[in-house]
Structure 1
Amino acid sequence: MHLPNSRKVHEKVRDMALACQKNSYLKELNTVVKSCEPATLKTVLSGKKVKLNGFEVILEDTVLFPEGGGQPDDRGKISGVEVLRVTRKGTDGVHFTPTPFDIGSNVHLEVDWTRRFDNMQQHSGQHLVTAIADSVYGFKTTSWNLGEKTSFIELDTPKVSNDQLENIENIVNEKIRAGIAMYPTLYENAEDPEVEKARARGLPDDHVGPVRIVTIEGIEANLCCGTHVSNLSHLQSIKLLGVEKGKKNHSNLVFVAGNRVLNYLGTAYNNEKALTGLLKTGPDQHAELVEKTQKNLKIAQKSALTLMRDLAILEAKMFKSNGNAGNYFTLHRKEGDSEFMNIIVNEINSGDVLIFLTTGDEKGAGLFLLAGTEDQISHLGPKVAEVLEGKGAGKKGKFQGKANKLNKRTEAEIIIKDYLKNCGINT
């Protein structure tokens, strides 16, 4: 592994960098607790925003990287206790934990290496792609995002052609196969001439401590605080997945690096295998057959829509032709929709008839519509919605909305019939 160049940095400057920044491959560390204060953490658990009570722990040094440079923070453990967030405060890493630690106590740090190495591969891959895109085509990187499955680099160009994309990918992977060294170097301050030569968008306003430059030997030197591989061969490979339109005439170059390439390939193969089983044809014909299936589906949906409209008209005509139908019409049609219900109401077209219609899963959710006089709707609409555990609104003799419990439709009908009976209306 390649450590910072000791000829270019004093020991006192090295000591100001975190252990994870001096050696990105360090997985464990023994250190001492400097401070521990109660704190809260806003985070997302199981897709829900929550606020957790815990403690902010500062150590004499840390192997857990705090978020920065576009790279997410590490996860790991302090003496067996899970670290839920790592942030930076000055030159210190701040660890959020659910339990406190005694100041001055000795602790053992462990990094979640799977997460860390993935972040290292994506971040180092971004540096390499950025350098090649700039040197070959003059495409400057304006920002980047390390996502959970794929990442993207925002380039200051409105378009990247397929040939350019292919060429960048080929050059990038040539550099990986060449096994070129990648390493950090620490400088005491930003006025050092070597710092001025490095590619950067400027130091953060709250930056303190030494200036760190990450070099890909013979390719680029970049101002960066993140963790990186020590050799491009550790990236394994990089796949440029494509280019998406970005904001303000920029382009987002989507990529995966390292183990993510293998994961992406495995997922793509499993999807291809599943489609082969469903479509009963080889991968080369998947797109053609799916396109044909979509066209047939559109035709079928159009035919089904026409049939439902005809059925709605027929239901209304059957009711109107029944001399003993009374003044109440009710119907449930699982396959129906709002248009189906409104056609029936418009076809019956009589203020003397109270109409109660529902569509959807009889045991689940669906839609409902109540049509009649203003008095009937204002009285029954909210009650029917409440029974069906749904929401709706009334307007011009109609009350309609969503029903979450269509299995309570019978209860709604009892309320309607009791009301009509009390009004002396035949049902």
Structure 2
Amino acid sequence: MATAVLLPSPTPPDYHRIVSPTLRVSDDPEIPIPVGILACQRDPLLRSLDTSVVAASVSQPEPPPAKKPTKKAVIAPAIPSDPLIEVILHDTVIFPEGGGQPTDTGIITTVADGAVWEVVQAKRHGGHAVHYVRVASGDTDKALLAFAPGASVTVALGQSGFDRRYDHMSMHTSQHLLSALLETRLELPTLSWSLTTYPSPCYVEIPRGMTPEEITSIQNEANRLVFEGRRVHVEVEELDRTQEKPAPKLQSGRAVGKGLPDDYTGGVKRVVVIDGVDRNPCCGTHLPSLHNLQLFLLPHTDALARSTTTNARLYFLVGPRLIAHLTSSHNLLTNTATILSCGAPQVPDRVNQVVDERKRAEKRRDDVEAELARHLADELVKEMAQVPEGGLHKRHLHRTDDSANVLGFLSAISFAFTNAAASTANPHLVVLTSSPSSQSASSTTVVLLFGSDDKKVKEAGEGLKSRLGVKGGGKGTKWSGKYTGVWREAKESATLQGLLGGF
């Protein structure tokens, strides 16, 4: 994963602001701090924390869903097959999934024995952050003993965990910025958003598509605020559910955003503030300054057809994902320029030139194939003229051809033959086969059978199936199929000749 160019500065002391006079962060090690004022939410750049265990239990696998699962908004890491235990700590730097932001991963070190345990994911249960800890040895009893209530531990993100967190924070904070600008500048509410898997661009869903001019204006405004380095802080107060309002809805009935989860029992309300730009309730982790976002990019929009309206996805890249995108794009452009033997600025013109040349080459190829098809058909008609009147003209013609559309070429021969033989009434039964120049046990030989009598064509097709194992079918006076394997003159062609000889 690409990392940000600038190292983040420490979180300012006024980033986390408790605005309720009765709310405080508990220092009782036997009480878990609720989701909303966890250490990862108070200081999003904190990488490790000394804390203690409140509770631990063996994790029971969730039963399979009774119906088809719906698409999840957040992307959880793959769960290992090893047993897991669920650990609740007094406090943590590992963020449990929520607010559209995926879970963090990290490690826990038990101080008593110095053992390091992998945290594969964290989830919010009610108001508590639950760590899913991998038991690599499979000995859950030993793990539960190590995580006995009161045990001292160090919980940390680790480098990979912090890179993951920094990426999520960058995208999440930029989504708040983007949604605020869309609503205040263009009156476009954010219906939903998705924090996709790195390094894909994330997106917000909006009620309509945007013009290129609108996209440019929002992008320019976002970049201006990024370069100004607008500060971000969090305000926290006690939650009064009686004052909470449901998410607003559009005329179509589609909700704008999401309300507070019904199972949230933490009793804390958290509002993320971008100075002079946005105030928005959110439980996720956010960077303390827009400076850390670096550049902001809106690549494109995709229309989404709904039953009542047409929504659109507006994609964006920022921070580590933008760096990965620019690096990948630069490498692709450089490699393409090398292949085309030109400088990067000349790539579009050179690609257009190559496309034009390919179209002309395809036209020449089609013309040559059509001419060759007519020539082969004329030869078959001449041979048919040598057959005594009323006799059945039986012919097998085999070709070696590496064309991408072998059946099309064989069909062109049959059409040309039919047109050329229209003035004659001689009955005929013709089999055309074509194999690639390099053959193996998995090679495919295309077979096309046509004739003047649909009954004979059907009978010959059945013979190709039974004698050569050709898979195919047809209707009327044409039958086509494929033979898998090496086509040999002495065996497969001889067998086909014998089949024709029976008519």
Question: Structure 1 length as normaliser, TM-score?
Answer: 0.80
Secondary structure (helix, strand or coil) at the match of 2:378 reads: helix
Aligned to 1:418: 495
Aligned amino acid, residue 105 of structure 2: R
User: C-alpha separation between the residues in 1 aligned to 2:58 and 2:322?
Assistant: 40
The answer to whether the 8 A contact 1:154-1:253 is kept is yes
Change (3 A) 1:70 1:341: farther
Q: 1:170 and 2:220 equivalent?
A: yes
Q: 1:374 and 2:415 equivalent?
A: no
The answer to whether the 8 A contact 1:41-1:53 is kept is no
Change (3 A) 1:7 1:422: closer
Moved more, 269-278 or 342-351: 342-351
Change (3 A) 1:284 1:16: same
Which protein is richer in helix relative to its size?
1
Q: 1:37 and 2:59 equivalent?
A: yes
Change (3 A) 1:379 1:88: farther
Q: 1:342 and 2:411 equivalent?
A: yes
The answer to whether the 8 A contact 2:101-2:168 is kept is yes
User: C-alpha separation between the residues in 2 aligned to 1:81 and 1:399?
Assistant: 65
Equivalent position to 2:237, from 157, 180, 187:
187
- CA offset at residue 114 of structure 1? 1.5
Equivalent position to 2:269, from 207, 211, 223:
211
User: C-alpha separation between the residues in 2 aligned to 1:385 and 1:312?
Assistant: 27
Change (3 A) 1:342 1:360: farther
User: C-alpha separation between the residues in 2 aligned to 1:393 and 1:34?
Assistant: 65
Moved more, 361-370 or 65-74: 361-370
The answer to whether the 8 A contact 1:370-1:377 is kept is no
- CA offset at residue 127 of structure 1? 0.7
The answer to whether the 8 A contact 1:169-1:240 is kept is yes
Q: How does 1:372-411 map to 2 (within 5 A)?
A: 373-381=457-465, 384=468, 392-396=472-476, 398-401=478-481, 408-410=486-488
Q: How does 1:262-301 map to 2 (within 5 A)?
A: 262-301=323-362
The answer to whether the 8 A contact 1:312-1:344 is kept is yes
Q: Deviations over 1:69-127 (max 9, x none)?
A: 22233333455555555444333335274745422524654431212211110111111
Aligned to 1:357: 434
Q: 1:57 and 2:107 equivalent?
A: no
Which protein is richer in strand relative to its size?
1
CA RMSD of aligned residues (A): 3.9
Secondary structure (helix, strand or coil) at the match of 1:253 reads: strand
Question: Structure 2 length as normaliser, TM-score?
Answer: 0.69
- CA offset at residue 257 of structure 1? 0.7
Structure 2 gaps, min length 5: 1-10, 65-77, 110-115, 148-152, 249-255, 388-392, 419-426, 451-456
The answer to whether the 8 A contact 1:173-1:238 is kept is yes
Look at both structures and tell me which one has the larger radius of gyration over its CA atoms: 2
Aligned to 2:192: 143
Moved more, 413-422 or 310-319: 413-422
Q: 1:225 and 2:237 equivalent?
A: no
Aligned to 1:45: none
Q: Deviations over 1:208-266 (max 9, x none)?
A: 32332222233222122222112222212212223343443433322111122222222
Aligned to 2:47: 27
User: C-alpha separation between the residues in 1 aligned to 2:24 and 2:481?
Assistant: 72
**Identity rate of aligned residues, in percent?**
23
The answer to whether the 8 A contact 2:434-2:446 is kept is yes
Q: 1:116 and 2:165 equivalent?
A: yes
Q: Deviations over 1:26-66 (max 9, x none)?
A: 33355536122242799xxxxxxx99644443211353333
Secondary structure (helix, strand or coil) at the match of 1:356 reads: strand
Aligned amino acid, residue 215 of structure 1: V
Equivalent position to 2:132, from 90, 95, 120:
95
